[in-house]
Structure 1
Amino acid sequence: MNTRTDNDGQSPRYGQGRDALVAAAIRVVANHGLRKLTYRAVAHEAGVTYGLVSHHFGSRDALIQAALEHSVRASVVAFTTAPGSGDIDALFGNLSEMVDADPGTQAFQYELILEARRRPELRPLVDDLYKAYRKVLAQEFSCSALPVDDALVRLVFAALDGLVFQQTALGGADNTRDALSRLRDILNGLKRQP
Structure 2
Amino acid sequence: MNDASGRTALLHATIVVVASGGLRALTYRAVAAEAGVSHGLVRHHFGSRDQLIAEAMEFAIDESLRGSNMLESGLTVDAFAAGIESLADRDSEIQSFQYELLLESRRRPELRSLAERHYGAYHDAITRQLARLGVEDPELAELIWFALDGIVFKQLVLPENAGAALSRIRALIADAARR
TM-score, normalisation: structure 2: 0.91
Q: How does 1:26-175 map to 2 (within 5 A)?
A: 26-77=15-66, 79-80=68-69, 83-85=72-74, 87-149=76-138, 151-172=139-160, 175=161
Distance 1:189 1:113 in 2: 33
Distance 2:177 2:80 in 1: 13
Summarize the Cα distance change of 1:190–1:106 in structure 2 as closer, same or farther, 3 Å threshold: same
CA RMSD of aligned residues (A): 1.8
8 Å CA contact 2:70–2:129 kept in 1: the answer is: no
The Cα of 1:78 is off from its aligned counterpart by 5.0
Name segments (4+ residues, structure 1) moved above 6 Å. none
Summarize the Cα distance change of 1:177–1:78 in structure 2 as closer, same or farther, 3 Å threshold: farther
The total of aligned residue pairs comes to 178
Higher helix share: 2
TM-score, normalisation: structure 1: 0.84
Summarize the Cα distance change of 1:82–1:24 in structure 2 as closer, same or farther, 3 Å threshold: closer
Q: CA offsets per residue over residues 27-75 of structure 1, 9 Å max, x none?
A: 1100110122111111111111011000100111111111111111121
Amino acid at match of 1:112: L
8 Å CA contact 2:71–2:129 kept in 1: the answer is: no
Gaps (5+ residues) in structure 1? 1-12
8 Å CA contact 1:86–1:141 kept in 2: the answer is: no
Identity percentage of aligned residues:
44
Distance 2:66 2:167 in 1: 18
Summarize the Cα distance change of 1:104–1:189 in structure 2 as closer, same or farther, 3 Å threshold: same
